[in-house]
Structure 1
Amino acid sequence: MGIEAWYMDSSDEDQRKPHRLQPNQAVSLEELKQLGVCYWKLNADIYENDPALKQIREDQGYSYMDIITIKKDTLPNYEEKLKMFFEEHLHLDDEIRYILDGQAYFDVRDKKDQWIRIAMSKGDLITLPAGIYHRFTLDETNYTKAMRLFVGEPVWKAYNRPADEYEIRQKYVASSACFFWVLRDDSSSYMVVRLKRTLSWRYSVGSCCTRPSSWPRDSFRRPR
């Protein structure tokens, strides 16, 4: 089952509530792809020895990994951290999170500056592109355990909005990247690949393809 997302209402009620519009206005994975959001569904029960996760890390260059448990009795300065996570901000690098247990929400801004809420649950791995305005919160279960992945040494610095002066934000806003699905060799899951427009390949947004067996895996690596 794929990830679920929807446009948010403007209520100031508890941030952990779903905040769906009435009627609900769902956001498809296709629409998330157009914002640069990448997604994989994995088996979190075998994350320590999962060949699919290992391959993703190799393909994407996710050399750093740690695990955080966000729960009142395990996370120091719990309330302060939740407040900080929910401040609208951006990063200079992609944000990669893999939910190993529990549930949570990532909120991202669309191109019209509207909030989209992405419901994360066990087995969901998501990448938010550098420069996108976003925020994070637990849902009403008040618990999640997540793997944090990074290319190279981690940089946790967040730049709260407004941060439009940063080059990465300007590049994100101006980007016209394209996205497409690649079916994994074992047919167990799909991955999204984001291509720079300077590459010679021409795929329309949302097109589907599988990697021909004669093409090297690196043909589909994410540009760094």
Structure 2
Amino acid sequence: MVKAWFMNDTDEDQKLEHHLDPVQMVDLDYLDEHGVKYWQIDADNYKEEGLLDKIRKERGYSYEDVISISKDKLPNYEEKIKSFFQEHLHTDEEIRFILDGSGYFDFRDRQGRWVRIAMEKNDLIVLPAGIYHRFTLDTKNYIKAMRLFVGEPVWTAHYRPADDLPCRREYLRSLVKA
């Protein structure tokens, strides 16, 4: 099951856990209140299991690809890791299904605090359009993930501040309703 917590503000290596002292975990309900969706799916048997296909149909995900992130598998690794960790948002959902390895997705909650989500094999996460977030590997330095999209993929990251984008305003309105 996924683990998530409020992060400390240190400048330590981004690949470390960054727990507060004392540790303050958050639950799935807290993620859901921020529009973050989570499922656990068997990465070795997802085709037979059928849950991923059900989610794809319900949410309209029609495109997929697979990315492996490690020093020896991703061209321009250092540059890409830095760009993934810059706070940004997208105009579409960000959907990742972890097939192997592990890493962290961080997002800003409604008070502007960072929440770190530890992702590992079998985790599927959906970050809503308009949420400020970032990604980094953990100390194992490897992740393999399926990326899903509605229609053709849009890779554009809008770095903070991007509060004037319609997707950001809509996201903030959704938090008021929740």
> What interval of TM-score do these two structures reach, taking the shorter chain for normalisation?
over 0.9
The residue that corresponds to 2:160 in the other structure is 161
Matched ranges for 1:60-209 at <5 A: 60-175=59-174, 176-178=176-178
1:16 paired to 2:15: yes
TM-score, with structure 2 as normaliser: 0.97
Q: Distance in 1 between matches of 2:48 and 2:62?
A: 15
Q: Distance in 1 between matches of 2:168 and 2:3?
A: 26
What amino acid is the match of 2:26? V
TM-score, with structure 1 as normaliser: 0.77
How far is the alpha carbon of 1:106 from its aligned partner? 0.2
How far is the alpha carbon of 1:177 from its aligned partner? 4.7
Q: Distance in 2 between matches of 1:31 and 1:153?
A: 30
Q: Distance in 1 between matches of 2:103 and 2:153?
A: 22
Deviations 1:25-78 (A, max 9, x none): 001111010000001100001234441111111111110000000011010000
How far is the alpha carbon of 1:131 from its aligned partner? 0.3
Q: Which secondary structure does the structure 2 equivalent of 1:58 belong to? A: helix
Number of aligned residue pairs: give it.
177
Q: Distance in 2 between matches of 1:49 and 1:83?
A: 36
Deviations 1:108-128 (A, max 9, x none): 000000000000010000000
What amino acid is the match of 1:27? V
RMSD of aligned alpha carbons = 1.0
Q: Distance in 2 between matches of 1:125 and 1:99?
A: 6
Q: Which secondary structure does the structure 2 equivalent of 1:15 belong to? A: coil
Q: Distance in 2 between matches of 1:23 and 1:36?
A: 26
Structure 2: 5+ residue runs without aligned partners?
Answer: none
Quick check: which has more Rg, 1 or 2? 1
Deviations 1:91-137 (A, max 9, x none): 00000000000001000000000000000010000000000000000
What amino acid is the match of 1:124? D
Structure 1: 5+ residue runs without aligned partners?
Answer: 179-224
Q: Distance in 1 between matches of 2:72 and 2:48?
A: 28
What amino acid is the match of 2:57? E
Q: Which secondary structure does the structure 2 equivalent of 1:45 belong to? A: coil
Structure with larger RCO (C-alpha < 8 A, sep 6+):
2
Q: Which secondary structure does the structure 2 equivalent of 1:146 belong to? A: strand
Moved over 3 A (4+): 47-50
Percentage of matched positions with identical amino acids? 58
